[in-house]
Structure 1
Amino acid sequence: MTNDFDADALGQAAVDAYRRDGIVCLRQAFDPDQVAFLRDVAARDMAAPSRMSNDATRDGTGRFFSDTFVHKHIAELGGIVRDSRAADVACALMRTKKVNLIFDQFLIKAPGTSTRTVWHHDATYWPVAGDMVATLWLALDPVTMESGAVEYVKGSHRWGQRYKAESFIDKDLYKEDLPPVPDIEAMRDELDIVAFEMAPGDCTIHHGLTVHGAPGNARDDLWRRAYVMRWAGEDVTYNPRPNLQPMLFDPQIPAGGPLDSELFPVIRP
């Protein structure tokens, strides 16, 4: 479901769609100045990335770049995290009064990048437990199916199953004893799969257990740059396990404790 963004209230339809489908698209949730600023920061980050960066392209063409905890690397991003509508959107959709930032991230596919984003869901990559986990994916460029629009399996966040994390680089990286993601490509006729073509400033918000994936960027004239924020609501606790996605540093939180820490700051209230 796509909704016109309301600065004061998302509306019940958006909240219901998020809870039912695990995915909502909001149009023009971020203004042109914020988008221009994030494009500039993305260019700076690609030129001088942090130690948390990755280039997932190994075989194939182009460049699939990511960098994580980027607000810790480029301090000006703290203003977007704190002062943009992102945290308020996360609160409204998850029906939580408190949100922590798990991390922020750039996900960038250069023109002609053949590497696809494998089918996965997010929550099993991270040391968190709870239902109120969401990802906000902000388009910094026009997004088309040809340039790599993300596809989401509607309702998959309520399948009652956690799937093994899938590395985009090393298939043996994650070792948690969970079943693999089903063969979504073989199940297309049985599933309700949605994708959104987007303008800069549009964003999607999906649940941490919503299965999603994306093709490569087949355009030779269009970047697919996204700024991503991962949010946790009031029911989320710290759940460290071996072989997870690396965090920037140890937050020194006991297992089962609240996320509130320097690593996972409280953004609202």
Structure 2
Amino acid sequence: MNEYAPSELNEDAAEVYARDGIVCIRQAFSPSEVEFLREIAAKDMAAPSKMSEDATREGSGRFFSDTFVVKHIPELSRIVEDSSAADYASKLLQSKKINLIFDQFLIKEPGTSTPTVWHHDQTYWPVAGDQVCTMWVALDPVTKETGAVEYVKGSHRWGQRYKAESFVDKDRYKEDLPPVPDIDSMRDDLDLIMFEMQPGDVTVHHGLTVHGAPGNSRNDQSRRAYVMRMAGADVTYDPRPNLQPMLADPGIPVGAPLDSALFPVLRQ
């Protein structure tokens, strides 16, 4: 079982997360929180931060991304700090301490052909440790047609870190790591899972869980997601060359806990 109500996030759910690297929490956010996030998404797309990128490759539509959004639109602290998001992460990671690495909008507008390539997240970021997760909040109905994400269950325990691949500039990342294997050719040998979601549902996946998604083939429906990248107590600062750009230097030593203005503590 990989699907839970918020009230069901107990030790069994944490064990499933630890084993599979992916769970779905149904109706984790209220309709009012979803509507608030939709309003902020529209505000951010109308006036993006300096961290925004258009991840659209060849083809149609628009794949919009913006990171460290709460630093750009402080109203988002209502979700980052005051919602149950960090509590969900705390229960699944089994960590009383939770830091925010960054938050993000990932929006595939109607008719966006750009896929999300197979990848895992953690090698993009200057962090080390096991308690790293991504919380992906659906703001629209999510189906295979609109670009539902597929996850390779257990891939976070393969003992392998893969080279990050840029959605914008294929030459951005240069870390000496192997590429993600050809997941599509391995489907018969892997345990893949995909969740069709309603607004307010969330997925939480481990930082090393391999995942990918198709484009949004619907011409009448966006696929808007608000994403929080979070870390538990075992995570430390691990800067390396040619990583995903961070908003600022956090001003902490290599190997230190993330606690800083850039990576704030949400729960302690």
Q: TM-score range by the shorter chain?
A: over 0.9
Query: What do residues 93-122 of structure 1 show as CA deviations (whole Å, max 9, x unaligned)?
Result: 011110100000000000000000000000
Deviation at 1:85, TM superposition (A): 1.0
Q: How does 1:1-269 map to 2 (within 5 A)?
A: 1-7=1-7, 10-269=9-268
Displacement of 1:83 in angstroms is 1.1
Give unpaired runs (5+ residues) of structure 1: none
> How many residues align structurally?
268
Deviation of the 1:4 alpha carbon: 3.4
* Deviation per residue, 1:138-175 (Å, 9 max, x gap): 00000000100000000000000000001111111100
Once residues 110 and 82 of structure 1 are traced to their aligned partners in structure 2, the CA distance between those partners, rounded to angstroms, is: 28
Displacement of 1:63 in angstroms is: 0.3
Tell me, what secondary structure is at the counterpart of 1:228? strand
| CA shift for structure 1 position 12 | 2.8
Query: How many angstroms does 1:236 deviate by?
Result: 0.4
- The residue type equivalent to 2:165 in the other structure is E
Per-residue CA deviation, residues 17-61 of structure 1 (Å, 9 max, x unaligned), is 101100000100000000000000000000000000000113100
The answer to whether the Cα contact below 8 Å between 2:52 and 2:65 also exists between their aligned partners in 1 is yes
Equivalents in 1 of 2:6, 2:77: separation in Å? 23
Between the aligned partners of 2:209 and 2:241, the Cα distance in structure 1 is 23
- The one-letter amino acid of 2:194's match is A
Q: Is the 8 A contact 1:2 1:27 kept in 2?
A: no
The one-letter code sitting in structure 1 at the alignment partner of 2:126 is P
Superposition TM-score, scaled by structure 2 size: 0.98
Q: Is the 8 A contact 1:150 1:215 kept in 2?
A: yes
SS class of match (2:6): coil
Q: 8 Å contact 2:6–2:25 — kept in the other structure?
A: no
Q: Secondary structure at the match of 1:135?
A: strand
Letter in 2 for 1:264: F
Work out the CA distance in 1 between the residues paired with 2:222 and 2:12.
Answer: 32
CA contact (8 A) 1:39 1:140 kept: yes
* Displacement over 2 Å in runs of 4+: 1-4
Alpha carbon RMSD of aligned pairs, Å?
0.9
Scaled by the length of structure 1, what TM-score is found?
0.98
